[in-house]
Structure 1
């Protein structure tokens, strides 16, 4: 008889989260391929909505009256959209370590490391977009002339708000680079605080500063902005970095789901409050008819519908996908998250147009 030698099988090098040691997910794609769909959906949806909504709400051009060029008319909402999305991404990526938790650093630290690098990049894009928005905003006020940026920043609150936002973005990038170097010794709370504070000056560029109860309106708008950024930015971080890491996603998604629920309530209530108040206080407009007779009302209706669709998609992830992910089942989380982020992009594009649209 011939003796047969049975060789023991080598241990499976694939870690429990389903990602092989070479960094490729189980479907053979490289990690760099994973973020393309959700990011593309968010940016494409935002650009489409910003351009269409701007076109629909631009005032007519009068003969003999200097008007901003089309480059300013469309460039300003586009750069403002980039600013909003980059700031949102910086906030969400800074928030991710808190969602991951710190109980299993061997598993979470590789993801947190990537998040810290990407947060720095997002902050730099945010800073650049804020500076370009400042130039375009100054050009909008002096059509046909060289924009006087210094005067615009000194005299117009919106200009000062953009410079403060750009400064916070630069600080966010600097602190983020320290976090890249020293890890979580630079607290995630500090990075989230800086990114969130950089979003607060932005509401002064819209209608929130136009009515009598200024303070209440500003607080409501700032809650709206922070809530939307936390919700969207958190989903961006999960979709980009955790979609194929099932074990980490199962542990992190319930924490994010609670955050998203609070954010939905804040965003919905504050958005309705601000939109309705603007229409109520507009001379010559009767509410609720103005929702259908004014371009500003159309945008409010569109954003409300988009928020409702986002809420339904979020409910699908929470009530249908999250239990399956917790059981270790294969789900279409990446696809649903990309779909939700596309609708969020549309909502961001409409929001940019709302800040610039005439109420009447």
Structure 2
């Protein structure tokens, strides 16, 4: 096979994944540029490797979660009555879940090392096992990262078992394990400092679960189901209903959480600090990205979906790649936003 032929068959399948990863890295770099600050006299600044590595590791956690949960959703979206020709699609989906869950666990452990270094070894010297143990014992974020890594490993094991046993391993169990792995980290960020911590943490967890399910489901459909018209005609209408709910929840919870941070902070005002502080600028950028994605999703549902159901050729993949790239950018912003003080 010629190089041109290989590229032709390879890009349509992995182009969406390349788009979201590249956009996420770009979002991290843009956000870091917006939030860079001058060193404070008398305070040891974390090394560049830690300051850059932490948001990249967090973005890796988010993207791995998207793939692990989204590709695990594909058998549920398809239902039990699927053509036999679709079985190889589900086998590939389980392989992606295994790989993504393992990356998820590794990224969580890498974040644990980097966060420990930020606290105990900001100059970039090696982190010891004693440092890691102390961090996990004293900092909630350390415990949360270990829990995330544990759930991710269990999800990888379940997906591996499903490759041999098929639906004897309930797909709901694989998806559920991935969703549980999303829950620990949100309760260790800005939300814990709120006067209404319980409410804001619930909103933040709903926000993350909805965004991950929406983005991951779309990625799985575009990468694996887009070429299988019968399967696509089955899963896309169901995903469209799920995506509509996820979009509404993501936008509502994202806006409420962002505004709550401004309302409860006596040092800032919603206007004009929403547009003049790094935190506010990142929040606005993320909200704009979600708004554009919502528009693309609406076009897909009302214009492209009827033709997909009729097994007609559409521009679904092109629109989905743009949507995933914008979501990757939003993930990059979010990775830095969670570490940006509102001042």
Residue 197 of structure 1 is aligned with which of 155, 158, 180?
180
Is 1:313 aligned to 2:296, yes or no?
Answer: yes
Provide the C-alpha distance between the structure 2 equivalents of 1:35 and 1:131, rounded to a whole number of angstroms.
Answer: 29
Is 1:354 aligned to 2:337, yes or no?
Answer: yes
- Following TM superposition, by how much is the alpha carbon of 1:328 offset from its aligned partner in structure 2, in angstroms? 2.1
Provide the C-alpha distance between the structure 1 equivalents of 2:188 and 2:12, rounded to a whole number of angstroms.
Answer: 35
Q: Deviations over 1:330-351 (max 9, x none)?
A: 1111111111100000011111
- Following TM superposition, by how much is the alpha carbon of 1:96 offset from its aligned partner in structure 2, in angstroms? 0.5
Is 1:50 aligned to 2:33, yes or no?
Answer: no
Partner of 1:234: 217
Provide the C-alpha distance between the structure 2 equivalents of 1:172 and 1:242, rounded to a whole number of angstroms.
Answer: 22
Provide the C-alpha distance between the structure 2 equivalents of 1:292 and 1:157, rounded to a whole number of angstroms.
Answer: 31
**How is 1:224-303 mapped onto 2 (pairs within 5 angstroms)?**
224-303=207-286
Residue 90 of structure 1 is aligned with which of 44, 57, 68?
68
TM-score (norm 1): 0.90
Which ranges of structure 2 fall in alignment gaps of 5 or more residues? none
Judged with a 3 Å threshold, the aligned counterparts in structure 2 of structure 1 residues 222 and 251 are, in CA distance, closer, same or farther, namely same
Aligned to 1:120, the other structure's residue is in SS state: helix
Partner of 1:341: 324
Partner of 1:80: 58
Is 1:102 aligned to 2:80, yes or no?
Answer: yes
Residue 304 of structure 1 is aligned with which of 287, 294, 299?
287
Provide the C-alpha distance between the structure 2 equivalents of 1:186 and 1:334, rounded to a whole number of angstroms.
Answer: 31
Residue 330 of structure 1 is aligned with which of 299, 313, 329?
313
Partner of 1:8: none
Q: Deviations over 1:194-247 (max 9, x none)?
A: 000000012134211111111111111000010001000100100110111122
Is 1:211 aligned to 2:194, yes or no?
Answer: yes
Q: Deviations over 1:288-341 (max 9, x none)?
A: 322112111111111110000000111111111111112222111111111110
Residue 34 of structure 1 is aligned with which of 1, 12, 27?
12
- Following TM superposition, by how much is the alpha carbon of 1:68 offset from its aligned partner in structure 2, in angstroms? 0.6
Provide the C-alpha distance between the structure 2 equivalents of 1:114 and 1:34, rounded to a whole number of angstroms.
Answer: 16
Aligned to 1:68, the other structure's residue is in SS state: coil
Out of 202-211 and 216-225, give the one that drifted further: 202-211
Provide the C-alpha distance between the structure 2 equivalents of 1:345 and 1:69, rounded to a whole number of angstroms.
Answer: 26
TM-score (norm 2): 0.94
CA contact (8 A) 1:102 1:108 kept: no
Provide the C-alpha distance between the structure 2 equivalents of 1:319 and 1:329, rounded to a whole number of angstroms.
Answer: 15
- Following TM superposition, by how much is the alpha carbon of 1:58 offset from its aligned partner in structure 2, in angstroms? 2.9
Partner of 1:165: 148
Partner of 1:62: 40
Out of 53-62 and 341-350, give the one that drifted further: 53-62
Which ranges of structure 1 fall in alignment gaps of 5 or more residues? 1-26
CA contact (8 A) 2:82 2:231 kept: no
Aligned to 2:37, the other structure's residue is in SS state: coil
Aligned to 1:65, the other structure's residue is in SS state: coil
CA contact (8 A) 1:171 1:194 kept: yes
Out of 60-69 and 234-243, give the one that drifted further: 60-69
Greater gyration radius: 1
CA contact (8 A) 1:58 1:357 kept: no
Higher helix share: 2
Q: Deviations over 1:113-172 (max 9, x none)?
A: 110111000000000000000000111112125431111111111111111101111111
Residue 134 of structure 1 is aligned with which of 99, 112, 116?
112
Number of equivalenced pairs = 334
CA contact (8 A) 1:42 1:341 kept: yes
